Copies of this chain bind each other. A is one copy, B any other.
Amino acid sequence: MSIQPIKWEDGCLKLIDQTKLPSKLEIIECRDYHSVADAIKTMKVRGAPAIGASAAFGMAIGAGEIKAKDRQKWFEELEKIAETLKQTRPTAVNLFWAINRMMETARSHKNLTTEEIVEALKKEAEKIAKEDIESNLAIGRFGNALVPQKARILTHCNAGALATVGYGTALGVIRAAHEAGKDIEVFADETRPFLQGARLTAWELLQDNIPVTLITDNMAGYVMSKGMVDLVIVGADRIAANGDTANKIGTYTLAVLAKENNIPFYIAAPVSTIDMSITTGDEIPIEERAHDEVTHIRDTVIAPEGVRVFNPAFDVTPHNLITAIITDKGVVRKPYEQTLKNLV
């Protein structure tokens, strides 16, 4: 468990600044909830499980910042903090799941002193973080069973240690297969515009000596058509009750290409990613991000001034294109409406 993107020490949330990787390994220290919210919004911390856990710590930090003495007022302030943290990013459901769980924890301790509630919230955030790593290890175990002895695996974005509290979801399965002594090679899509694949996944796999080849997103079809890929595995930001899955922009394309080339297409995610409150992927809000993510790479301008840009950060893969969903509670297959219900 070498890479730890999220650390909690003496009431301070320490995050690897993922916008600086792979050039620099910088740690930012969040001592107030506003800096946690900012870190999520600016993608210094990203990945559905990682933003969930970070927001949980943000709730604990924020609770400690509340000055109100009146109990009702105190809870109103906590609600506002929850709201601020919820408004950082709209798509990944783990964010809302973690914040709601923290609010419930606070409410269930409402008869204690506010100091005691803050302590309970810190413990709950630590529990969420610890559970996340355990979840990922379980995803790795379940997923490993689906990976052949020799496998060339294509992945997208970063669903690795850096996207979680540790070990990773999609990369957790890859790690588990590698640790099991299987002959694993990975193709990492660079994942424009934010380049999580080039900057984070390639870096993470190199750290662990797992063979990785970097390609641009538009090369995935070529390597699949050439028989160079045995399976595709990616993470998820939100899974609807019918199995439709929101994940980093480009995921849908990979699923269509996998179908065309008869390659299994797997989603790896903890059950906290499943949102049973929505029926289909059409209801998942898709975040649109700033245009300069597309027109600039760091300080380099790559497009003409004044060009119109569309920058959706996620897309939705219809359930019928998904071979199986690997969760911490087991692997589920179609019909997802039924199998997901049995799971949660």
Contacts and interface: CB of A to CB of B under 8 A. Distances in A.
B225 A307 contact: no
A298 interface: yes
Given A22-B304, A22-B305, A192-B218, 8 more contacts: A190-B192, A216-B217, A216-B249, A217-B250, A218-B249, A219-B311, A222-B249, A299-B300
A118 B21 CA distance: 56
Given A192-B192, A192-B216, A215-B294, A221 B301 contact: no
Given A190-B302, A198-B295, A250 B218 contact: yes
A217 B218 contact: yes
A5 to B, nearest CB: 16
Contacts of A256: 221, 256-257, 260
Contacts of A309: 213-215
- Copies of this protein chain in the complex: 2
A290 interface: no
Given A213-B309, A216-B193, A294-B190, A221 B302 contact: no
Given A190-B303, A218-B217, A302-B199, A253 B249 contact: no
Contacts of A199: 302-304
A328 interface: no
A195 interface: yes
Contacts of A211: 308
Which interface residue of A216, A217, A257, A260 has the most chain B CB atoms within 10 A? A216
Given A192-B218, A218-B192, A256-B256, A202 B300 contact: no
Contacts of A257: 253, 256
Contacts of A2: none
Contacts of A305: 22
A306 interface: yes
A142 to B, nearest CB: 28
Nearest to A309: B214
A330 interface: no
A41 to B, nearest CB: 20
Q: Which of A195, A217, A297 has most chain B Cβ within 10 Å?
A: A217
Interface in A234-293: 249-250, 252-253, 256-257, 259-260
Interface in A178-201: 187, 189-193, 195, 198-199
A312 interface: yes
Interface in A5-25: 22-23
A68 interface: no
Nearest to A318: B225
A189 B23 CA distance: 27
B303 A22 contact: yes
Nearest to A299: B300
A206 to B, nearest CB: 5
